[in-house]
Amino acid sequence: MRTILVTGGAGFIGSNFVRMVLVEHPDVRVVNLDKLTYAGNLENLAGYKEHANHVFVKGDICDGKLVAELIETHRIDAIINFAAESHVDRSLVDPGIFIETNVNGTLTLLKAALDKKLERFVQISTDEVYGSLGPQGKFTESTPLSPNSPYSASKASADMLVSAFGHSWGLRYNITRCSNNYGPYQFPEKMIPLMINNALHDKSLPVYGDGLHVRDWLYVYDHCTAVWKVLTEARPGAIYNIGGNNEKPNLEVVRLILQYLKKPESLIGYVKDRPGHDRRYAIDSAQIMTELKWKPSVTFETGLAKTIQWYLDHPDWLEHIVSGQYQEYYKTMYSNR
Ligand code: NAD
Ligand code: DAU
């Protein structure tokens, strides 16, 4: 049996990944290290926290002693690093924690992975490290890094540390750079769940700027299958872009959500733009599709319908989040826009 250390496994993508591994790969044990920040939520692991192949540990990836102990005690073979501060808007208010977790935390994990001679280190990065595109073209793995926000700068720094550990000391690593994920268990600070939640409560849907910024939407389960293929089949040192081939302007996505929920377009409210807002992301996934035979399983229309239905079917999950500190967050971020 193989044992993997998944960090950030109580967050949105990490919890979807943990669930997928426990269900589809019964010969794998998962040690799940998560600090349970505002974004970490044990309800994301409902029904799986006590699974025989799952050990949950509340802790910080910046804690080198804890990471080393976990690797030894559980005989970890590989680390998959999902843990991060992940929201661009928060990074524009308080960048320091992004450096601490995304850069120093990754460095701590890298040191431990090298010291314990792990088989593989998979860094979950983002297409935002490439910066912003004009109307044409897509990001490939050789697009130069040109991050624009404190969040993406911290992720690009982490990527460079990972490859430096490979180059300098032979760490066996991979880096994945995916586009915008959506699906079950996403915290409602991100656009899709925020708009769903507001629409459900007949609240204004705050579209930044002209609403014509383009994102390339990737269903979270498809992202998880791609990461699994990278972990198990990729050549060491390879970087893979992962996208959904679903480029959409934000306004179109918001309109689809309103249509699904049978709510009026008059709920759309244009608000002040995000500072330095990247105009367009689009991913060329040819490399992972050709080399690892990965492809996304759902179209955007199907994935979005499944996602909205999931939020409709899980009112308690949503309510537990939006009735707490979230109210304060929303007031701070949106009241003066
Ligand atoms: P998330 O914010 O939902 O979850 C992050 C998780 O990391 C939380 O459970 C949190 O408690 C945990 N965490 C934060 N700091 C920690 C620390 N110091 N030690 C241990 N755990 C800590 O994020 P997400 O959307 O699931 O993103 C996961 C990863 O994927 C991130 O690295 C992010 O940069 C990357 N990514 C996300 C997207 C997206 O669309 N959501 C797209 C591209 C890349
Ligand atoms: O591209 C990958 C990245 O996608 C990840 O690395 C990040 O972790 C993830 O948060 C996401 O970043 P974005 O900034 O693209 O996602 P967000 O959901 O915050 O915003 C998506 C788009 O919607 C963006 O153009 C900003 C816009 N937006 C967002 C919010 C929260 C709005 O118009 N209104 C909003 O209230």
pLDDT band at 332 (very low <50, low <70, confident <90, very high): very high
Mean pLDDT of 191-207: 98
Residue 68 lies in a domain: yes
Distance 191 CA to ligand 2 centre (A): 6
C-beta 318 within 6 A of ligand 2: no
C-beta 181 within 6 A of ligand 1: yes
- pLDDT value at residue 103: 98
Question: What is the extent of the structural domain holding 161?
Answer: 2-182+218-242
Q: How far apart are CA 35 and CA 28, in angstroms?
A: 23
- pLDDT over 80 at 211, yes or no: yes
* Proximal ligand: closest to the CA of 88: 2
Q: How many residues does the chain have?
A: 337
Backbone phi, psi, residue 172, to 5°: -85, 105
- pLDDT value at residue 298: 96
Residue 251 lies in a domain: no
- Give the up-direction half-sphere exposure of residue 27: CA atoms within 13 A in the CB hemisphere: 2
Choose the residue to mutate in 38, 87, 88, 98 for probing ligand 2, maximizing ligand atoms within 8 Å of C-beta.
Answer: 88
Residue 117 lies in a domain: yes
- pTM for the structure as a whole: 0.98
CATH number at residue 25: 3.40.50.720
- pLDDT over 70 at 56, yes or no: yes
Residue 152 lies in a domain: yes
Residue 198 lies in a domain: no
pLDDT band at 324 (very low <50, low <70, confident <90, very high): confident
C-beta 126 within 6 A of ligand 1: yes
Residue 111 lies in a domain: yes
The active-site residue out of 151, 182, 221, 281 is: 151
Per the prediction, the chain carries an average pLDDT of 98
pLDDT band at 336 (very low <50, low <70, confident <90, very high): confident
Distance 181 CA to ligand 2 centre (A): 10
Mean pLDDT of 20-29: 98
- pLDDT value at residue 1: 60
Mean pLDDT of 156-179: 98
- pLDDT value at residue 122: 98
- Ligand 2 atom 11, closest CA: 180
Q: What percent of the chain has pLDDT over 70?
A: 100
Structurally, the chain folds into a number of domains equal to: 1
Residue 75 lies in a domain: yes
Distance 265 CA to ligand 1 centre (A): 32
pLDDT band at 337 (very low <50, low <70, confident <90, very high): confident
- The verdict on whether 127 is a catalytic residue reads yes
Residue 327 lies in a domain: no
Q: How far apart are CA 233 and CA 231, in angstroms?
A: 6
